[in-house]
Amino acid sequence: MSIETSGEVCSVAFYKNENDLFELNFVRKNIHSEKIFDMIEFGRSNFGIQISDIDSVAVSIGPGSFTGLRIGMTVAKSIAMGLNKPIIPVPTFDAAAFHLIMELPQNTKFGILKKASINDFYYAKYLSGVKSYTIVDELQLILKEEVEKKAADADIVYADNYNLPETRKITAPTALHIAVWASEFGEKVTDYDYLEPFYLKKFIARVKNEKND
């Protein structure tokens, strides 16, 4: 089973192989905690398995929404602990990169750019291979004014909220992307008490100032 909650898409998948799978996506902001357990039960039922048949839980670890990532990790841990099964932590950008290489020629240098806040972006650069990729630039947090310089030598940049000459719109990751990456590259973790999402950017709570009359 796999879980993706790093963005607005709440996504659950049950995956044996590319011909035997079931995915369920729900797109609405701040809906993850309300819907995810119902989605898991619906998916399990439609995939025709018992919850005890799950052999591991792959979960998107970020970066992305702080709240979404916490919810996904908490759900993954609760299921894995209850079943005494391992967790497979999946880097969200790497899962997206592995999905994207399916549409790219070999040796294409491509960037993935996602907005982190008003002035910050998450960025990583990859080189496509045959059913594989190489990380060219490690995932990093960059300022808005650094984007064009960082992305200058990329053949293509996949972005969710930025326009460059060679930009393509990146779709939100789903649990199927997480499952496929986990099946190819994932490492099972059994001691996951201290397993945490990869936030990269520190959480800053924004509190509205109130003036007393």
Give the containing element (helix H, strand E) for 88: strand 87-91
Q: Mean pLDDT for the chain?
A: 91
Closest C-alpha to 63, from 129, 116, 8 = 116
Distance (Å, rounded) from C-alpha 11 to C-alpha 3?
6
Tell me the backbone φ, ψ of residue 19, rounded to 5 degrees: -105, -5
- Residue holding tokens 């659950």? 12
Tell me the backbone φ, ψ of residue 21, rounded to 5 degrees: -155, 165
- Give the per-residue pLDDT at 212: 41
- Give the per-residue pLDDT at 29: 78
Q: Between 178 and 194, where is the model more confident?
A: 178
Q: Are strands 9-17 and 87-91 parallel, antiparallel or unpaired?
A: unpaired
- Give the per-residue pLDDT at 170: 87
Per-residue model confidence as pLDDT tens digits over 23-73: 999 998 778 999 999 999 999 999 999 999 999 999 999 999 999 999 999
Could you name the CATH architecture of 94-169?
2-Layer Sandwich (3.30)
- Whether 94-169 and 2-91+173-185 are alike in CATH topology: the answer is yes
CATH superfamily of 2-91+173-185: ATPase, nucleotide binding domain (3.30.420.40)
| Rounded-to-10 torsion of CA 127, 137, 200, 24 | -10
Per-residue model confidence as pLDDT tens digits over 79-131: 999 999 999 999 999 999 999 999 999 999 999 999 998 899 999 999 999 99
Closest C-alpha to 197, from 12, 73, 31 = 73
Enumerate the domain spans of the chain. 2-91+173-185, 94-169
- Residue holding tokens 């960059």? 142
pTM: predicted TM-score of the whole model, two decimal places: 0.90
Q: What is the mean pLDDT of residues 183-193?
A: 95
Question: Residues of 139-165 as b/e, b for ≥16 C-beta within 10 angstroms?
Answer: beebeeeebeebbeebebbbbeebebe
- Give the per-residue pLDDT at 211: 39
Reported residue count of the chain is: 213
Per-residue model confidence as pLDDT tens digits over 139-185: 999 999 999 999 999 999 999 877 777 788 888 889 999 999 999 99
- Give the per-residue pLDDT at 20: 96
